[in-house]
């Protein structure tokens, strides 16, 4: 059973993910061990802290190297027995998890929908892996934030390419989403969306600032995450959705 939620979900984790952890905290720190599915989380950035809270985490990832990193981190953290790595793709969860004996309480899908063949198919597969009332945590790149970041960096041509939904020349194509795009995907998967928030509203901007107090940046991040117009221009978007 989770007994000490504070350490893995606050100061020890990256400031840019503060809004995501703030949304997850009421679920993962409630004192009940959950079955968690982390799709595309092979390196263990979320899986290992969740396992430290007492949850059992299954990570599905196509990369054998990422899963090897996951296992090393879990071993180092002393939670190897609560972390399972499965090599496979998110759009084939019904095959990858065919031997599972029931649904998951919580699924994570962070920085995955940007690169899969079909985000709608992947999200439907994730929804199907949840138990009734189960939640999915979705984090995606925000189109508006990507446009502004490139503009501020002096890259107007790249900003226009991202604005038009085109890839940046010479780089792998990566989707960006608007809040409306994300909400439509959630609805299409038969899920009920909660409040969406911005991820890294200012953390990335302040990362290189000398003397920026991480605690103050974290506090500012949380203050801006659900506030308009700031959340609309964050680097990423996050929401929790529920399966009926």
Q: What is the mean pLDDT of residues 171-178?
A: 82
Tokens at 226, concatenated: 């659900």
Q: How far apart (Å, rounded) are the C-alpha atoms in residues 176 and 140?
A: 7
Tokens at 234, concatenated: 């964050």
Tokens at 65, concatenated: 């190297």
At 162, the pLDDT band (50, 70, 90 cuts) reads: confident
Task: Using a pLDDT cut of 90, give the percent of the chain over it.
Answer: 73
* CA 101 to mean position of chain CA atoms: 25
CA distance readout (Å), 156 to 35, 141, 144, 176, 230: 45, 19, 14, 17, 21
Q: How far apart (Å, rounded) are the C-alpha atoms in residues 112 and 121?
A: 12
Residue 138 has pLDDT above 50, yes or no: yes
pLDDT score recorded for residue 164: 85
At 9, the pLDDT band (50, 70, 90 cuts) reads: very low
Q: What is the mean pLDDT of residues 128-149?
A: 95
Tokens at 68, concatenated: 């090897």
CB-based contact 242:192 (threshold 8 Å):
yes
Report which of residues 219 and 7 the model is more confident about: 219
pLDDT score recorded for residue 205: 80
Residue 7 has pLDDT above 60, yes or no: no
Q: What is the mean pLDDT of residues 22-31?
A: 94
| Structure-token match 């004192």, residue found | 31
Q: Where are the beta strands (DSSP E) in 35-77?
A: 35-39, 56-61
Summarised one tens digit per residue, pLDDT across range 208-221 is 666 778 888 899 99
């Amino acid at each position: 059973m989770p007994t000490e939620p504070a350490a893995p979900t606050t100061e020890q984790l990256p400031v840019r993910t503060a809004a995501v952890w703030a949304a997850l905290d009421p679920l993962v720190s409630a004192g009940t061990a959950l079955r968690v599915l982390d799709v595309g989380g092979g390196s263990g950035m979320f899986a290992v802290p969740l396992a430290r809270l007492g949850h059992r985490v299954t990570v599905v990832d196509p990369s054998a190297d990422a899963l090897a990193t996951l296992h090393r981190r879990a071993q180092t953290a002393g939670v190897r027995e609560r972390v399972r790595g499965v090599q496979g793709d998110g759009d084939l969860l019904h095959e990858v998890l065919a031997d599972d004996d029931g649904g998951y309480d919580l699924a994570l899908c962070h920085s995955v929908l940007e690169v899969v063949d079909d985000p709608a198919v992947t999200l439907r597969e994730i929804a199907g892996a949840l138990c009734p009332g189960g939640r999915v945590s979705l984090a995606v790149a925000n189109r508006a934030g990507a446009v502004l970041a490139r503009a501020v960096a002096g890259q107007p041509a790249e900003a226009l390419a991202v604005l038009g939904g085109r890839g940046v020349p010479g780089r792998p194509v990566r989707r960006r989403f608007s809040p409306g795009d994300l909400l439509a995907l959630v609805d299409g998967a038969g899920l009920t969306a909660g409040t969406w928030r911005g991820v890294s509203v200012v953390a990335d901007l302040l990362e290189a600032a000398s003397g920026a107090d991480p605690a103050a940046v974290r506090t500012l991040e949380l203050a801006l995450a659900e506030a308009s117009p700031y959340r609309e221009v964050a680097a990423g978007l996050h929401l929790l959705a529920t399966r009926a």
